[in-house]
Chain A
Amino acid sequence: AQTVTQSQPEMSVQEAETVTLSCTYDTSENNYYLFWYKQPPSRQMILVIRQEAYKQQNATENRFSVNFQKAAKSFSLKISDSQLGDTAMYFCATQRGGGSEKLVFGKGTKLTVNP
């Protein structure tokens, strides 16, 4: 079974600063994927970043980057130059295999970016 743990229910950061959201996971799979999704107040789920477990290089998408520590089963998200529009719920998720497999989500972290 796969599990995802997000230990920070809420976080806040000042605009233009950097914040890191934590995520740990557990899986017995050798081939798996890790994701960070953003859910703004509109409640539309938006993919922020995706990491294939077999890739050692950390994924980056503009201001968003991850620190993937496979041995520690840790997958943290760093948001640089935080913007007001980054205010949202952030969910970490894992997926066995890919594509058509189900996603297993953590409980989420509510991030507030303050002006």
Chain B
Amino acid sequence: GAVVSQHPSRVICKSGTSVKIECRSLDFQATTMFWYRQFPKQSLMLMATSNEGSKATYEQGVEKDKFLINHASLTLSTLTVTSAHPEDSSFYICSATGFDEQFFGPGTRLTVL
């Protein structure tokens, strides 16, 4: 089956620093990738839709200058949390579209101290 990886799986950073999370489709090309965040015991909240070679489309209420998304190739999308604060601590999940289906990465747990 199609595999999506995320790196790192967990990261701890200091308040004010930036953190980059990578999402890769390992065995297929994904023209579209999605980024979600999930707070404890809650559902997935879509942050943005990332299309290869174009600017990401952000959901209402998501700060595009804070959550920078780059989809430079058909197998890689990155999410950079800039000037991270404790309230950005969350579980971030990406998904990639292939074979008319979305495949999810294993998620990245971000903790901002």
Which residues of A does B touch, CB under 8 Å? Answer: 42-47, 50, 91, 98-100, 102-108, 110
Contact = CB atoms under 8 A, between A and B. Distances in A.
B28 interface: no
A102 B34 contact: yes
B46 to A, nearest CB: 6
A99 B106 CA distance: 20
Interface residues of B, number: 20
Given A43-B106, A44-B104, A100 B31 contact: yes
Interface string B3-30: 0000000000000000000000000000
A99 B42 CA distance: 24
Interface stretch (B63-71, B72-80, B81-89, B94-102): B94-102
B43 interface: yes
14 contacts: A43-B91, A43-B93, A43-B107, A44-B106, A44-B107, A45-B93, A46-B104, A50-B101, A91-B43, A99-B97, A103-B34, A103-B46, A105-B44, A107-B42
Given A42-B106, A44-B104, A44-B106, A102 B49 contact: yes
B111 interface: no
Contact of B32 (A45, A100, A104, A107): A100
Given A43-B91, A98-B100, A99-B101, A107 B43 contact: yes
A46 to B, nearest CB: 8
Contacts of B107: 43-44
Contacts of A108: 42-43
Given A100-B32, A102-B34, A45 B104 contact: yes
A106 B43 contact: yes
A106 B44 CA distance: 9
Please provide the 9 A-B residue pairs with the shortest distance between their CB atoms, ordered closest to farther: A45-B104, A100-B32, A99-B100, A105-B43, A107-B43, A100-B97, A43-B107, A44-B106, A105-B44
Interface in B36-54: 38, 41-44, 46, 49
**For A99, A102, A105, A110, which residue has the most chain B Cβ atoms within 10 angstroms?**
A102
